[in-house]
């Protein structure tokens, strides 16, 4: 029997309460519920629901419970900022189980956004902000020390997920020089940081030489025109 087969909600409540009173182990509870395979994991979800919503939470759900984007953002922020365990934060926001919060965290840390399928729709991604070289280096080193948790770093330093990810990738490829901001600087005026930049600099240098040569040719042409004009005066 699998969890998809209808299980009496009263039985769910009875088994969860027995488990919470230490009258039965989790494996035995899952067996008596008729769960198989990953039955203990399913039973743990029942425990989460019971602890967050009480016995009523294990009754048949007639409709999908939607959570607002604002609630999702707030719950994810609380957990990443160390304001409680998964279970504690889930209970604080009235989630059916900590699994719900885990999904939102995975989405944020993997994609940099939290999607909302409720009536409000939309998704959340922190906006990019200006940073100094020193800030970028600090963020990258902190991120690498924390298993590349881009989402957590974006929240901690109030920048975007994509910014953190890009800085880490540049640092891993080019070292600290990859974090320098070269916008607005003429190509070829700074040491190349990668084969791509080296090729770009060579092309830019050739283009400058061609422009200089063209200017010189135009000047010589003008001088010759003036000399010819003087001869006929």
**Positive or negative: CA dihedral 27, 32, 33, 38:** positive
What's the rounded Cα separation, in Å, for the pair 76 and 86? 10
Ranges in the chain, pLDDT < 70? 1-5, 37-38, 59-65, 110-112, 115-127, 182-201, 204, 212, 223, 226-233
Longest dimension (CA), the chain: 119
pLDDT at 121: 47
pLDDT at 123: 61
What the block records as the tokens of 113 is 């956004």
Residue by residue, DSSP assigns 17-45 as HHHHTTSS-HHHHHHHHT--SSHHHHHHH
What's the rounded Cα separation, in Å, for the pair 117 and 121? 5
CA atoms within 13 A on the CB side of 103: 10
Task: Give the domain ranges of the chain.
Answer: 9-58, 69-124, 133-179, 187-233
Strand partners, 168: none
Contact 24, 15 (CB under 8 A): yes
What's the rounded Cα separation, in Å, for the pair 115 and 99? 16
For residue 46, count other CB atoms closer than 10 A to its CB: 24
pLDDT at 140: 93
What's the rounded Cα separation, in Å, for the pair 18 and 24? 6
Q: Would you call 84 helix, strand, or coil by DSSP?
A: coil
Torsion angle (degrees, nearest 10) of CA 168, 173, 177, 178 = -60
CA atoms within 13 A on the CB side of 204: 13
**123 secondary structure, DSSP code:** E
Q: State pTM to two decimals.
A: 0.42
């Amino acid at each position: 029997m699998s969890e998809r087969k209808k299980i009496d909600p009263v039985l769910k409540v009875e088994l969860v309460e027995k488990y919470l009173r230490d009258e039965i182990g989790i494996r035995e509870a899952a067996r008596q519920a008729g769960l198989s395979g990953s039955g203990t994991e399913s039973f743990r979800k029942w425990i989460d629901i019971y602890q967050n919503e009480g016995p009523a939470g294990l009754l048949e759900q007639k409709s999908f419970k939607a959570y607002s984007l604002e609630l999702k953002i707030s719950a994810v922020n609380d957990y990443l900022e160390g304001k409680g365990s998964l279970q504690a934060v889930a209970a604080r926001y009235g989630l059916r189980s900590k699994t719900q919060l885990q999904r939102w965290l995975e989405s944020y840390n993997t994609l940099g956004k939290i999607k909302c399928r409720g009536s409000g729709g939309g998704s959340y991604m922190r906006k990019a902000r200006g940073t100094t070289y020193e800030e970028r280096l600090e963020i990258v080193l902190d991120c690498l020390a924390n298993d590349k948790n881009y989402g957590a770093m974006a929240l901690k330093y109030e920048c975007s997920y994509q910014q953190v990810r890009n800085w880490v990738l540049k640092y891993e490829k080019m070292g600290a020089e990859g974090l320098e901001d070269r916008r607005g600087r003429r190509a070829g005026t700074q040491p190349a940081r990668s084969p791509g930049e080296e090729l770009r600099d060579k092309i830019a240098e050739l283009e400058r030489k061609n422009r200089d040569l063209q200017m010189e040719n135009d000047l010589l042409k003008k001088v010759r025109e003036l000399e010819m004009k003087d001869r006929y005066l």
